[in-house]
Structure 1
Amino acid sequence: MTSLHTLPIPHQTARIHEHAWTADSRHPTSEGVVVYVRCAECGTHRVDLETHPQRPATALSAEFVRTRRDETSDRDDVSVVRHPRLLP
């Protein structure tokens, strides 16, 4: 017997993959080097901080996913993917 008070099961819309980050640009700051990166496969964007050349970069922002292009505007609509280490 089915219940009328249950929520639908959400379906995953995007496929999960290991991002292949490529640097779009990098800028030196007092905290280190800020790197704007993009996934070569899905186009997701993120901002990273390199505090030392021998250490891996740390994500400064959440991941931004392009969802669609608005034909009447010059901007893309984006969805934010929450990063587990970042505050809400």
Structure 2
Amino acid sequence: MVEILKERLGQARAVVYILAVGLLFIDPVSIWGMIVKFSTICLLILLLHFLYQKCNYYNRNYEIPDILCLLSLTSQTGHLLWESINRYVA
């Protein structure tokens, strides 16, 4: 699997970007929707980590888009946690 990802790093990175942007527009209604969105965010962050660690890949041209993607994912995590606290605790 690592060899396949090494051959298609650009496609794997594009999928992560598209999913991260798609998650911005999903507003979960139930607690299960929040859990699914949170687990998807965690999986995308782990996938980016896997791409860098296991594939030994680093390209300066992708540094800014990857940082923006990680900031978007962490921002969504914070928003999701804040929304769940407001909705289910208050």
TM-score past 0.5 threshold: no
Structure (1 or 2) with the larger CA radius of gyration: 1
TM-score (norm 2): 0.19
More helix by share: 2
More strand by share: 1
